[in-house]
A and B are shown apart, each in its own frame.
Chain A
Amino acid sequence: MYAVNYAKPASVADAVAALSAAEDGKFLAGGMTLIPTLKQRLAAPSDLVDLGAIGELQGIGTDGDALVIGAMTTHADVARSPLVASAIPALVTVAGGIGDPQVRNVGTLGGSIANNDPAADYPGALLGLGAEVRTNSRTIAADDFFLGMFETALEDGELIVSVRFPKPLAAAYAKFANPASRYSMAGVFVARTASGVRVAVTGAAAGGAHRMETMEKALQADFSPAALDPITVNPNGLNSDLHGSAAYRANLVKVMAKRAVAACG
């Protein structure tokens, strides 16, 4: 790892100020992706601004019928939260299936979505639930937030404060995990909401998490696994690598979607 400056501010305002004062700074959340990236010298920021001491970014609460989860809340805390389990149990499945226990003890919601790894789990959940990303300066709908592989709508120096998840009528996540990394090779999040069915896929496409409109339409008409039988997932744009071909992933997307619909009950 290259030498780096380090700051640990105690407020969102101080963190944003510290980053803007840095020559080429980066926010450090849990560090489960950033620290390995630094160790491999694939990134060389001048400064790390550690978000670990900022109380405003922590915790799980409600806002009317929605869950609001602080950006620095760890996957383990989401997976263990009785509040999450009662409001949106599918989020327990998502958070509890990320990486391994030691990664879940440290990795955070905000870090995961800011990084937008194309195989990360949370982006699919945010798209599937129609969540909103709240930053230090604005609110961004999930549909407008994820722009492609490792790309988001965040401006330079913009900091995610929390994510607001509207409570669905029912939701479930089904994931086929890479046996080594536990990243999703195909993860499908299905939600029945008051404004319609939402289906989001993560892990399969090079561009990252995206909605599946054909499946949404079919499920809107008939919310059952069988409703997806006539649909063929187009392998164009899906990843093809040593873990699986695009055609294999296309099939996995359909299988996981059917499992998620079945799990919605």
Chain B
Amino acid sequence: MSTTVSLTVNGKPCTVEVEPRTLLSALLRDKLGLTGTHVGCDTSQCGACVVHVDGKSRKSCTTLAVQVDGAEVTTIEGLAAADGTLHPMQEAFRENHGLQCGFCTPGMVMSAVDLLHTNPSPTEAEVREWLEGNICRCTGYHNIVKAILDCAANLRGAQQAAE
């Protein structure tokens, strides 16, 4: 049995034929070619597949595409500006060397962006607690945490400068 879902992915509307059992991660990667969303453990634990659905971070490997029919989805490909300027979180990961092999990075970045939406001034402990659902097997947490704190400070600074 197949059905269709209509989503807005990274600002672009799209209608895709899926089965009810098609996972959102499979829709993004296999149907739309957005392979920046990684599938690591496929058991809801590692967080490499985290995307935003209607602004909230969510594990796309544990979401049926049909569940999010009509939603706005943002993937790692949708963060940078159209001219290629990196999102401040991506820039902070680059500046702080917040990655080693890079496999967990898309999920880490998407999760971190959601953290700063809900808590613009997290403590180091809050950042580490927030990353509970994102696993880095290179043990690179130190620089990831540093990058997120740096991004939060940069964004606060930019906001103060604007005021």
Interface residues of A (CB under 8 A from B): 1-6, 8, 28, 31-32, 35-36, 38-39, 48, 50, 52, 76, 80, 99-103, 105-106, 180-182
Contacts and interface: CB of A to CB of B under 8 A. Distances in A.
A100 B3 contact: no
Interface in B45-86: 45, 47, 50, 56-59, 62-64, 66-67, 69
B1 A5 contact: yes
Given A39-B42, A106-B58, A101 B132 contact: yes
B41 to A, nearest CB: 10
A99 B62 CA distance: 14
Given A32-B44, A35-B63, A102-B58, A4 B20 contact: yes
Interface string B4-37: 0000000000000001110100000000000000
Given A36-B43, A101-B133, A182-B132, A31 B20 contact: no
A4 B69 CA distance: 17
| B interface majority secondary structure | mixed
A6 B20 CA distance: 6
A6 B1 CA distance: 10
B111 interface: yes
Contact of A100 (B23, B56, B69, B133): B133
Contacts of B42: 39
- Chain B interface size, under 10 / 10 to 19 / 20 to 34 / 35 or more: 20 to 34
B63 A106 contact: yes
A41 B134 CA distance: 25
B3 A6 contact: yes
Counting chain A CB atoms within 10 Å of each CB, which of B56, B62, B64, B66 scores highest? B62
A3 B19 contact: yes
Of A80, A99, A101, A106, most B-chain CB atoms within 10 Å:
A101
Given A36-B43, A101-B111, A102-B47, A3 B132 contact: no
B58 A105 contact: yes
B63 A100 contact: no
B114 interface: yes
Given A32-B44, A106-B63, A101 B130 contact: yes
7 contacts: A3-B19, A6-B20, A6-B64, A35-B63, A36-B44, A100-B132, A106-B59
A96 to B, nearest CB: 10
A48 B20 contact: yes
Q: Which 10 A-B pairs have the closest CB atoms?
A: A100-B133, A6-B20, A100-B132, A1-B21, A105-B56, A102-B133, A102-B59, A35-B62, A102-B57, A6-B66
Contacts of B58: 102, 105-106
B115 interface: yes
B64 A35 contact: yes
Contacts of B43: 36, 39
Contact of B20 (A5, A80, A181): A5
